[in-house]
Chain A
Amino acid sequence: MARFSGGKAPFLRITDSGEKGTKIIMRDFIIGLLPVVLFAWYKNGIMVYIDGNISFMEMLYPLIFIILGGFLSVLFEAIFFYITDKSARNVKGIGNKLKLSYGAIPGLLLAMFLPLYTPIWVLMFGCFMATIVGKMLFGGFGHNIFNPAIIGRVAIMFTLLGVINNAGGFMNASEVLVDSYAGATPLTLFSISKTIDYNVIVAPYGNLWNFFIGTIPGSLGETSFLVIMISYLWLSIRKVINWSTPLIYVVTVFILSWIIGMVNGEAGIWFPVYSILSGGLAFGAVFMATEPVTTPRNPLGKVYFALFIGALTVLFRFIGVYPEGVATSIIVMNIFTMPLDNVTAAIRSTGIKKKTIGKFAFLTILLLLIMVYAVIKSMNLYSLSIFFVGGLF
């Protein structure tokens, strides 16, 4: 009898030992989140408790908030499976589905990307948007086009930012008492003033060292560059994320901001450093821009993706009404992931030859145009005229 359940070559898989599978990648990713979670708790819970501004129970709140985010999105996913899939209408069925869906991650990321005093119902709304709209309606894990956590974040920020601000906003109980903060994050100040002035955007928060350590107001997980760097190292060493994407992203923002600072008469290195330390840039770079499902697969595609979100982030910071450019730019580039992946895959497999030079030139010129546009947008008309007239004569 011919038996043909022979399987397909190769018969050797890296997952055979059980140490390299998707499950392990997801586990390592959550371990990579831990330092950020702990710092968020330390900064918004423990430290404030030590200052004596909150009670013991309130000290636990940041931790509970983040875990609740993860729990809510798993819950939504379970409900979704229950409704849509008849085979999943028992505990075992749902369990099997959830095991292969890794539902907690969007919720965890979303909670960490939100301010501390976000009302729970807003978090629920965000988790719903992230899990159901951002992920399950596209077909579940592996099929979503947009980063689910960012969908949740953008949905909240574009509709319910006022609610969050009324509920206490970005300030924890200690930060509210600091007069110089004036109830705003550094990027909010920047988006209002749109001027590159150290005294306006950095001085109220002390100095850039505080930005680096993370003791400034902001969303739960995004403030500390240092802690995110630790996560970045862990995730890169465990090969959970591609190490190059965050690096290229941050370096692009750094260089572009530096150029913008210079054409605006601010040659100091503090502005590019401020640009990469403020807001959710580091958090987005490490945890969002590297999210495998919604970013290009091939290495060249990843490079272009990082360059584009870098350019767009700077652009959105200068032209947007909202303070943050990271989430928006990643969402925008998520749309182009598939074509970008195909184009860069063709370039990569052929090399830069006659057949592909057009594609290569198109991508590069588009990228440069966005960068030039961001630079032009950053200048007010007066300095623009000086710039051009000065260039002519």
Chain B
Amino acid sequence: MILRKAKGIHIDGFKKMSRELPLREYLDPQFVYIPLLQQNSPLKKMVEIGSDVKIGQVVALREGFGAMPIHASISGKVTAFKKVWHSSGKMIEAIEIENDKLNRLDDSILPEINIEILSREQLIQKMRDAGLSGLGGAGFPTYIKYQAKCPIDTIIINAVECEPYLTCDFMLTMKYPEKLLKGLSYFIKAANARNGFIAFKSYNQDIKSALEPLLNKYPNIELCELKDVYPAGWEKYVVEQVTNNTYVKLPSEAGVIVDNSATAICFADMVDNNIPLISRVITITGEGIKHPQNFYVPLGTKVSELIALAGGYVEGLDPKTAWYLAGGPMTGRAILVDELIVNDTLGAVIVKGIPKEAEHPECLGCGKCSDVCPVFLTPTSIKSAFERNDVSLIKNLNADKCMQCGLCSYICPSRIEITDFVAKAKALMAKGA
């Protein structure tokens, strides 16, 4: 049948506040914590207490699916294995490294000489050795996408960043536009693809003006402007808008690989200088922060230090009764302490006071959740089917199509946690089927 594209609605961005100050580098935290967890798979540690580590040295290994090394982000000494707050909302064991402030590099970090002759396999091997995983929020190991069996035609760089408040990808892209294009051209080579697109939101015209003058060096790369809607940064939305094609499970079915813009910039560094994934940009923003801004930090930095650098909390906000929204306000998690550490999937921490418990009238059945659903579900029906434990009806209603963008809860006039119900129904369906 005719392709029915996923849709979205415009929501307030709140992005201005963290864009006013320039991207700030903070490369020398006293301690960093490398969490021994990636994407729900525990990591095997490769160092002992007291070991001396250099920047880029392997300190842990991910095993099984998506096996790859994890690197130290600063040089110094391993001082402890400590439990720290992770963006997944749990306390996770982490390797504590004390900074010796000497910035000693591991021997593997060298400028690459023969970039031109690198083969496809070598590039994929580099992704793997550098521990490159998606920096957009899912943290999926990048090299797995490039090992896909399906022929890949197009690489799309997702520079949409549709979550409100977040500006980390935007700031990084604005700082290194030529690196983004270079990274994309390496991606194209690694996938043996024909062309590449950079998808951005119409709201971010700056990206267009920054990238357009550089495009003449890259004939097979084009820009693609998407509407200013949420969830425009959803992989499927991007693929459907850019290629007019769709898929069921993975974009490679449509001959597409989607990567985040920060991932591409990282990859450019990896290929050119063999620098593994050791740092990222994080947005520290929200109504509770005095000077919201973006930081370029080594992985493992404490968020509380960054908050202090951003001027601390606004007056009147008690840090103990605030939300620290890890990842973004729509799909992220609320952490209740600021002892959070920066990991590869954490793009932002938004500090807000916890709102007062609001009124919860009954569902009045307005159907707004169904109106806004990007994949045309009817959350109210799924909710009532879930309450009756009716798995076959949940299946009929295609609850598995939900990707928990949160729009139904967002729009609900009665503040019903409808996204949560659909998520539970989805889990029930996965269990029952």
Binding site for B on A (CB under 8 A): 2-16, 20-25, 99-100, 140-143, 239, 242, 292-299, 301-302, 341-342, 344-346, 348-353
Least Cβ–Cβ distance between A129 and chain B, in angstroms: 21
Cross-chain contact B419 with A142 (CB below 8 angstroms):
no
Q: List 15 A-B contacts (CB under 8 A).
A: A8-B419, A10-B329, A11-B329, A14-B412, A16-B355, A20-B413, A22-B364, A23-B359, A100-B361, A100-B362, A239-B368, A297-B369, A297-B380, A298-B378, A348-B378
Q: Which of B32-40, B168-176, B403-411 is the interface stretch?
A: B403-411
Residues of B within 8 A of A (CB): 1, 4, 11-12, 89, 91, 164, 323, 325, 329-337, 350, 352, 354-355, 358-359, 361-371, 375-378, 380-381, 385, 393, 396-398, 401, 404, 406-407, 409-415, 417, 419-420
Rounded to whole angstroms, the CA-CA distance of A99 and B361 in the bound complex is 9
List of A residues within 8 angstroms of B89 by Cβ: 6
Q: Are B365 and A292 interface neighbours, CB within 8 A?
A: yes
CB A336 to nearest CB in B, in angstroms, measures 14
Q: Is the beta-carbon distance between A7 and B397 smaller than 8 angstroms?
A: no
Least CB distance, B220 to chain A, in whole angstroms: 33
CB pair B370 A345 closer than 8 Å? yes
Question: Does the CB pair A12–B410 fall under 8 Å?
Answer: yes
Nearest-neighbor residue (CB-CB) of B89 within chain A: A6
Contact present for A298 and B366 (CB under 8 Å): no
A341 to B407, CA, bound (A): 20
Residues of A within 8 A of B337 (CB): 3
State A16–B361 Cα separation when bound (angstroms): 15
Q: How far is the CA of A242 from the CA of B413 in the complex (A)?
A: 15
* Residues of chain B contacted by A8 (CB below 8 angstroms): 409, 417, 419-420
With CB as the reference atom, state the residue of chain B lying closest to A345: B378
- Bound: A100/B359 CA distance, A: 8
A12, A293, A295, A345 — most chain B CB neighbours (10 Å): A12
A-B pairs with the 7 shortest C-beta distances? A142-B362, A10-B406, A345-B378, A6-B334, A297-B367, A298-B370, A298-B378
> How far is it, in angstroms, between the C-alpha of A143 and the C-alpha of B361 when the chains are bound?
12
Name the residue among A140, A299, A345 with the largest chain B CB count within 10 angstroms.
A345
- B1, A25: Cβ atoms under 8 Å? no
A9 in complex: contacting residue of B331, B359, B368, B381, CB < 8 Å: B331
- Among residues of A, the one whose C-beta sits closest to the C-beta of B395 is A346
**Does B333 lie within 8 Å of A6, measured CB to CB?**
yes
**Least CB distance, B229 to chain A, in whole angstroms:** 15
Residues from chain A with Cβ under 8 Å of B412 in the complex: 13-15
Given contacts A21-B415, A345-B378, list 17 more A-B pairs with CB under 8 A. Answer: A4-B336, A6-B333, A9-B329, A11-B325, A11-B332, A11-B334, A14-B412, A15-B415, A292-B367, A293-B364, A297-B370, A297-B381, A298-B367, A301-B378, A349-B376, A349-B398, A353-B1
- Output the least CB separation between B145 and chain A (Å): 26
Please state if B323 and A349 are interface contacts (CB–CB under 8 Å): no
Closest CB of chain B to A156's CB: distance in Å?
25
Decide: A348 and B376 in contact? CB cutoff 8 A: yes
A297-B378, A346-B396 known; A14 and B411 CB under 8 Å?
yes
- With A345-B377, A346-B398, A348-B378: A9-B330 Cβ-Cβ less than 8 Å: yes
Rounded to whole angstroms, the CA-CA distance of A346 and B409 in the bound complex is 21
Contact B413 A15 (CB under 8 A): yes
B336 touches A5 (CB 8 A): yes
Distance in angstroms between the alpha carbons of A27 and B378 in the assembled complex: 26
Cβ-defined partner of B367 (8 Å) among A25, A296, A346: A296
Known: A21-B413, A142-B363, A298-B370. A9 touches B332 (CB 8 A): yes
Chain B residue with minimal CB distance to A350? Answer: B398
Identify the closest chain A residue to B330 (Cβ).
A10
Nearest CB of B to A35, in Å: 22
Which A residues touch B407, using CB under 8 A?
10
Residues of chain B within 8 A (CB-CB) of A292 are: 364-367
- Contacting residue for B323 out of A11, A16, A296, A353, CB 8 A: A11
Residue of B nearest to A140 (CB): B362
With A349-B375, A349-B378 in contact, is A9–B333 under 8 Å at CB? yes
CB neighbours (8 Å) of A239 from chain B are 368
Q: Within the assembled complex, what's the spacing in Å between the Cα atoms of A240 and B1?
A: 33
**B367 near A302: Cβ-Cβ < 8 Å:** yes
Quote the shortest CB–CB distance from A332 to chain B (angstroms): 18
For B378, the chain A residues whose CB sits under 8 A away are 297-298, 301, 341, 344-345, 348-349
Bound CA span A11–B215, Å: 38
Min CB distance A231 to B, Å, is 18
Distance from A285 Cβ to chain B, minimum over Cβ atoms (Å):
17
Given contacts A342-B381, A342-B397, contact A351 B4 (CB under 8 A): yes
> When the two chains form their complex, are residues B332 and A349 in contact, meaning their CB atoms are under 8 A apart?
no
Q: Give chain A residues whose Cβ lies under 8 Å from the Cβ of B330.
A: 9-12
CA distance A59 to B402 in the complex (A): 57
**Are B334 and A351 in contact, CB atoms less than 8 angstroms apart?**
no
Find the B residue at minimum CB distance from A6. Answer: B334
Query: How far, in angstroms, from A100 to B364 measured CA to CA in the complex?
Result: 11
Find out whether the CB atom of A21 lies under 8 angstroms from the CB atom of B414: yes
Given A10-B409, A299-B371, A293–B419 Cβ distance below 8 Å?
Answer: no
- In the bound complex, CA of A140 to CA of B362 (Å): 9
Contact of B364 among A11, A141, A302, A352 (CB under 8 A): A141
Is A141 touching B362 in the complex (CB atoms < 8 A)? yes
B397 x A349 contact (CB < 8 A): yes
CB-defined contacts of B370 to chain A, threshold 8 Å: 297-299, 345, 348
Contacts of B358 in A (CB 8 A): 15
Question: CA A24 – CA B413 in complex, angstroms?
Answer: 9
Complex: A141 Cα to B359 Cα, angstroms: 14
Of residues A6, A22, A302, A349, which shows the largest number of chain B Cβ atoms within 10 Å of its Cβ?
A349
By a CB distance below 8 angstroms, the chain B residues around A24 are 413
Q: Given the complex, which residues of B lie within 8 Å of A293, measured CB to CB?
A: 364-365
Chain A residues near B417 (CB-CB < 8 A): 8
Minimum CB–CB distance from B115 to chain A (whole Å) comes to: 42
**Cross-interface CB contact of B401 among A99, A301, A349, cutoff 8 Å:** A349
The residue in chain B whose Cβ has the minimal distance to the Cβ of A143 is B362
- Give bound CA distance, A140 to B361, whole Å: 11
Partner of A6, one of B329, B335, B359, B381: B335
Q: List residues of chain B with CB within 8 A of the CB of A12.
A: 11-12, 164, 329-330, 410
- The docked-state distance in angstroms from the alpha carbon of A13 to that of B412 is 8
Q: In this complex, which of B367, B401, B407 has the most chain A Cβ atoms within 10 angstroms of its Cβ?
A: B367
